Amino acid sequence: MTNEDLATLDGVGPAMTSKLRSAGLTTVEAIAVTPPREIAKKTGIGFNTVLNIVAAARKSACVDFITAEELWKKRQNMLKCSMGSKNLDELLGGGIETQAMTEFIGEYGVGKTQICLMLCVMAQLPLEKGGLNGNVVYIDTEGTFMPERIFEIANALGVDPHKTLENIFLARAYNSSHQCLLTDHLFKFCPENDIKLVIVDSMIGHFRGEYIGRENLSERQQTLNSQLHKLLRLTEAFNLPVIVTNQVLANPAQFFGDPNKPAGGHVMAHACTHRVYLRRGRKGTRLAKVIDSPYLPENSTRFKITEKGIEDVQE
Ligand SMILES: Nc1ncnc2c1ncn2[C@@H]1O[C@H](COP(=O)(O)OP(=O)(O)OP(=O)(O)O)[C@@H](O)[C@H]1O
Ligand SMILES: [Mg+2]
């Protein structure tokens, strides 16, 4: 969608268009899926006017009732990005899906960031090579994004490492409110920069570090929830995948099985379309298991982290 499209909405003149644009609402889709209250707050446009604009946007973007057949067609536009491992791709039904949020969960050093870095390179490949043929946004909350590693992975794949690095847009989020600001900015940034993949590594680190104590838990969960829903809307508005990483919490009361559980509670569990739990396996390999997905079976597979990035384990 281009910026003229906003002006085609009933009741939206040049002044209104510019207010919407400077609030990051540059497309009809973005307006259609953003809560009116939020639009009013960001643009300073009166709430009733916003309701009319949103109604017009929803009509134009066809986000009222649609038939299941139309939904089926929309999902045919869904693309899948390879992770460089056939087994991992198969586990997720053919790769990382657009129009969905995929969460990688696991303890430190298990390979969450490595998968993200691999995807930064893979997403830039053409569709026929398993990529999404576009650029990448990486929101790094922990300062663990390593350009050297991108260089190494790109070289191994036989693509130009410098071009690959040029097409990754990095933002170092210094705290949770900065992270929220960056997420808001994505509705403007993604369409303007041909972004086909958004990564948030990690989604929850700052939230856990800043909202300490039981009395702050509900506020934390509310903010986290609103952030996750924005990211979900982004996946639909621009037909792209969002990848988030998440840590695990030790549950000392658990005597049997894995004593770890994903952080973020029900809010994380509900918002993420697919959840993949990573664990250390035999001989330095890693185990990936789908733990919660609306249509993928709860299978698991093994992969390994090598200098080339993510690879299958040869059995
Ligand atoms: N060049 C490489 N070759 C082989 N293995 C590597 C290479 N670089 C990193 N690794 C492996 O990746 C692991 C680190 O994984 P990663 O940084 O993705 O963990 P993480 O799950 O993101 O952890 P955290 O929760 O601390 O962020 C290292 O322990 C190492 O085993
Ligand atoms: Mg990491």
> Which ligand lies nearest to the CA atom of residue 306 in the structure?
1
Q: Mark whether 56 and 86 lie in a shared domain.
A: no
pLDDT at 237: 87
Q: Distance (Å, rounded) from C-alpha 61 to C-alpha 237?
A: 10
1 — pLDDT class (breaks 50, 70, 90): very low
Q: What is the mean predicted confidence (pLDDT) over 127-147?
A: 97
Q: Distance (Å, rounded) from C-alpha 95 to C-alpha 79?
A: 9
Q: Distance (Å, rounded) from C-alpha 63 to C-alpha 37?
A: 18
Closest CA relative to residue 258, chosen from 225, 281, 233, 229: 281
Q: Mark whether 145 and 19 lie in a shared domain.
A: no
Q: Mark whether 55 and 90 lie in a shared domain.
A: no
Q: What is the CATH number of the domain that holds 135?
A: 3.40.50.300
Would residue 39 count as lying in a domain?
A: yes
Last residue of a domain, one of 36, 60, 84: 60
Minimum-distance ligand 1 atom for the alpha carbon of 115: 18
pLDDT digits (tens, 9 = 90+) for 188-233: 899 999 999 999 999 999 999 999 999 999 999 999 999 999 999 9
For residue 3, is pLDDT > 70? no
Domain that holds residue 150: 75-312
Instruction: Name the phi and psi angles at 263, rounded to 5.
Output: -75, 165
Q: Distance (Å, rounded) from C-alpha 213 to C-alpha 207?
A: 12
Q: Mark whether 48 and 87 lie in a shared domain.
A: no
Among 148, 305, 307, say which to mutate for ligand 1: greatest number of ligand atoms within 8 Å of CB.
Answer: 305
Q: Mark whether 108 and 132 lie in a shared domain.
A: yes
pLDDT at 277: 96
Q: Distance (Å, rounded) from C-alpha 284 to C-alpha 51?
A: 55
Would residue 22 count as lying in a domain?
A: yes
CA of 165 to the centre of ligand 2 (A): 19
256 token code pair: 């049997």
CA of 247 to the centre of ligand 1 (A): 14
Burial of 209 (0-12, 13-18, 19+ CB in 10 A): exposed
pLDDT digits (tens, 9 = 90+) for 155-166: 999 999 999 999
State what percent of residues in the chain have pLDDT above 70. 98
Number of domains in the chain: 2
Q: Mark whether 227 and 109 lie in a shared domain.
A: yes
Would residue 207 count as lying in a domain?
A: yes
Q: What is the CATH number of the domain that holds 31?
A: 1.10.150.20
For 155, which DSSP code? H
- Ligand 1 — pocket residues by CB below 6 A? 106, 108-114, 144, 247, 305-307
Q: Mark whether 55 and 198 lie in a shared domain.
A: no
pLDDT at 62: 65
For residue 254, is pLDDT > 80? no
Q: Mark whether 296 and 201 lie in a shared domain.
A: yes
